[in-house]
Structure 1
Amino acid sequence: MQPIHSRLEPDSSEDHKSEVLDDFLDATVISPSSWWRTKSTWRIGRDDRLEMPCSLERLLDDYNLALIAESPNSQLIRPRLDAILIQILSVVKETRQKSVNGKFGMSAILDAVFWGSRRRLCIAHDFQGCSYTVSCSVDYTLWYGNQQDLETNFIVVRSDVLMEDECWMPLAAMSIIHYARKKAGRNAEIYGVCTDSYKWTFLHLNNKSQEIDND
């Protein structure tokens, strides 16, 4: 899991920082023991499947050629992932805008969705009469509204090394978003992905703070 940090006074001990983070995790009801959850197979309906354009495959091949790197290669992770995520959102928008659903407001909803680049997510947390800031970084956030209100339900964390197994790094940011939205009385369901652009681990926190993953 990607580290969660707490912003305390300079003379605060590491033990105290750990206590703050432990208390925050207790408040989210997403304890470390619950991360070893149940696995499930996520099935994608026929209507939700989209064919990626040949241009994406050609672009990924161009990266191999230009960077003199043969896939899979850690040098290709960032440019590959940028291209894949942007292309996926573009294809979804174009397809849905042309569909029947577009006549019933779907087009307007999709117009508001956009990828946000790397940023630090922060939330205030009270512990023993003091207020602290708990934070962590996320590489890509799919926003559908106000960023200050954390109006997102999907994040992506990039692994800078080739993944050999499933990855849990997104859970840190997912926990912050889930907890903040739950406190505000909003839908707190959120999805997360950890990827090296070759291997993908999908995570899901439902409104009951239950985590499910699919690799």
Structure 2
Amino acid sequence: MEQIVEPRKNKHLKNRSKHKKEIPTIAITDLDPIEIPHHFNLTHCPPTEFELSPRETEEVSLPSYLNSILADYDMATGGSPKSETLIRSRINVIILTTLAKMKREFVAKLGTSVASSTVSSTLLKSIHLKFERKVKFDWKSDNRLVKLSGVIDYSLSYGVPNTYATNMAIIEVERPHLLKRGMLHCLAYMAIIHETRKQSKARDKSVYGIATDSYEWVFIRIRPNGEWIEKTYNWAHSAQDIVSMLVKIFARAAGFNPQASYKRE
């Protein structure tokens, strides 16, 4: 008996140490969406005129083959209900063709400026989309420490992969009526990135996010001071604005000024 019973003092210290290390884990999708701004100390504000809108000089045409691909999708599905698979395939083709178009045309533009082309091309090539990025982050809210976990459907990465060198998170919304919920969960992921950028003393601490079912697109931004803004676009009526905003965010990650560097078609 004496050999298998620990001294009371040591057992107490061991249990206390074990208790201290245990942090409850909460999935971001389990958070009450309405409480997310409060949990992350974010203040909702209206956007300024061009904060989530492209200027005339920032307008970008759609990739030449994008409309035909989406038309083929519509023809193939024959008006069947919107499914998660269809939504994801539409999001994939929109963001991937837009990023490819930006890279292709920025490289062509850089070719005319030898002085800056080497550094800028390197930055441009470092941008890539990361799919299903897993996130874990210790967060203290209302004097309670928890470990938040989740998966960002799409994030924009640049520089060294698998770091928080990102300024954009995209969340896929499976049903139109879940758009607001998806937008607020996207805001939670953005808040984690925002806090990480603050801790790493990043030069630009602002973060962009998008919640979309591929038809409605909600663009979100967390300003460096913790204020957040949003603006919604409909693909049927504002496809060019959506593509232009995507390019604007992609370009910002690469350190470009799209107003000066991107040639409007």
- The normalised TM-score by structure 1 is 0.75
Deviation sequence 1:69-122 (CA, Å, 0-9, x none): 36x834521111110010010011111111147641322211000000012212
Deviation sequence 1:53-77 (CA, Å, 0-9, x none): 331111112222333336x834521
Q: 1:58 to 1:180 in 2, by over 3 A?
A: same
- CA contact 2:179–2:212 (8 Å) conserved in 1: no
Paired letter, 1:154: M
Paired letter, 2:176: L
Percentage identity across paired residues of the two chains:
23
- CA contact 1:178–1:188 (8 Å) conserved in 2: yes
Distance in structure 1 (CA, Å) of the matches to 2:99 and 2:72: 21
Aligned pair partner of 1:119 in 133, 149, 156: 133
Matched, 1:145 2:151: no
- CA contact 1:115–1:143 (8 Å) conserved in 2: yes
Q: 1:102 to 1:201 in 2, by over 3 A?
A: farther
Deviation sequence 1:140-184 (CA, Å, 0-9, x none): 001012344300001111101125865333101001111111112
Q: Secondary structure at the match of 1:149?
A: coil
Aligned pair partner of 1:88 in 75, 83, 98: 98
Find the counterpart in structure 2 of residue 175 from structure 1. 191
Q: Secondary structure at the match of 1:139?
A: strand
Distance in structure 2 (CA, Å) of the matches to 1:132 and 1:164: 26
Find the counterpart in structure 1 of residue 247 from structure 2. none
Find the counterpart in structure 2 of residue 106 from structure 1. 120
Unmatched 5+ stretches in structure 1: 1-7
- CA contact 2:179–2:211 (8 Å) conserved in 1: no
Q: Secondary structure at the match of 2:184?
A: coil
Distance in structure 2 (CA, Å) of the matches to 1:84 and 1:13: 34
Report 1:32-71 matches (<5 A). 34=43, 36-41=44-49, 42-69=52-79
Q: 1:57 to 1:125 in 2, by over 3 A?
A: same
Deviation sequence 1:174-196 (CA, Å, 0-9, x none): 01111111112113210001111
Paired letter, 1:73: K
Q: 1:196 to 1:130 in 2, by over 3 A?
A: closer
- CA contact 2:123–2:159 (8 Å) conserved in 1: no
Paired letter, 1:193: I
Distance in structure 2 (CA, Å) of the matches to 1:179 and 1:164: 26
Q: Secondary structure at the match of 2:176?
A: coil
Find the counterpart in structure 2 of residue 5 from structure 1. none
Q: 1:120 to 1:102 in 2, by over 3 A?
A: farther
- CA contact 2:179–2:213 (8 Å) conserved in 1: no
Paired letter, 2:216: K
Distance in structure 2 (CA, Å) of the matches to 1:82 and 1:175: 24
The number of residue pairs the alignment matches comes to 195
Find the counterpart in structure 1 of residue 174 from structure 2. 160
Aligned pair partner of 1:214 in 209, 220, 231: 231
CA RMSD of aligned residues (A): 3.4
- CA contact 1:40–1:214 (8 Å) conserved in 2: no
- CA contact 1:189–1:204 (8 Å) conserved in 2: yes
Distance in structure 1 (CA, Å) of the matches to 2:167 and 2:25: 34
Task: Please state which structure has a larger fraction of its residues in helix.
Answer: 2
